[in-house]
Amino acid sequence: AQSVTQLGSHVSVSEGALVLLRCNYSSSVPPYLFWYVQYPNQGLQLLLKYTTGATLVKGINGFEAEFKKSETSFHLTKPSAHMSDAAEYFCAVSEKGAQKLVFGQGTRLTINP
Amino acid sequence: ETGVTQTPRHLVMGMTNKKSLKCEQHLGHNAMYWYKQSAKKPLELMFVYNFKEQTENNSVPSRFSPECPNSSHLFLHLHTLQPEDSALYLCASSPWGGPLGNEQFFGPGTRLTVL
């Protein structure tokens, strides 16, 4: 069965600093990969996704992620953190042709002024 | 309304009550999902419906009873719940068999508290 591991349940960075949220997956074939963000008292919103093609994917709010097959990773980055980025971030994976998403446990991002 | 809507947004119920959660999607999707999000657990998939037919039940207790009358509406009927069922219940929808990945669109959730 597929699994997703997000390293660090809590990450704290200063405003203006680099944001790096880590995600590793286990899959025998290259899957579809997703990052979702959840703001307090809201549902999940898609930040970006990788399906095929260019391995560096740009999303909303200045986030991007790079699919690295050799490392089975899909880490999320943003060059300069903003206070509004404080939220919980979920990495998810699905196999091509499969319907179900498998989510990681989430990483809570805190931005320090 | 656009996207995925859920009502009510907040619900407090006793263990002997019967209540229902409602989800509606305005995206023309054919698949709908119920998830449970607890404070200290990963997102848990509960049920999946495709074209109104249930295709997945992740060993959910029978006190949770889903209903999907059409591809746009999904209900979760609740009865004799336990305090540990208190959580955020999220509904999602997606296109079925889409070639570009199974992107799911989520509603805002219903915050359920069982007393």
Question: What does the pLDDT profile of chain B (115 residues) look like in tens digits?
Answer: 679 999 999 999 998 889 999 999 999 999 999 999 998 788 999 999 988 899 888 899 999 999 999 999 999 999 999 999 999 999 999 987 655 557 899 999 999 999 9
pLDDT given at position B99: 55
Confidence band, pLDDT 50/70/90 cuts, at residue A2: confident
Q: Given its phi and psi angles, is residue A16 left (phi above 0), alpha (psi -120 to 50 degrees) or beta?
A: left
Per-residue pLDDT, averaged over A44-71, amounts to: 93
CA distance B28 to chain A (A): 16
Structure token digits, residue B7: 């009502």
Pairing type for strands A10-14 and A56-58 reads unpaired
Q: Measure the CA–CA gap between A31 and A24, rounded to whole angstroms.
A: 12
CA distance B55 to chain A (A): 10
The DSSP secondary-structure symbol of B79 reads E
In chain B, the residue whose alpha carbon lies closest to the alpha carbon of A93 is B102
In chain A, the residue whose alpha carbon lies closest to the alpha carbon of B47 is A100
pLDDT given at position B63: 96
Q: Quick check: B108 and A41 CB within 8 A?
A: yes
Q: Measure the CA–CA gap between B44 and B36, rounded to whole angstroms.
A: 5
Check if B39 contacts A (Cβ < 8 Å): no
Closest by Cα among B20, A2, B18, B94 to B7: B20
Check if A93 contacts B (Cβ < 8 Å): no
Judge contact between A19 and B76, C-beta under 8 A: no
pLDDT given at position B97: 62
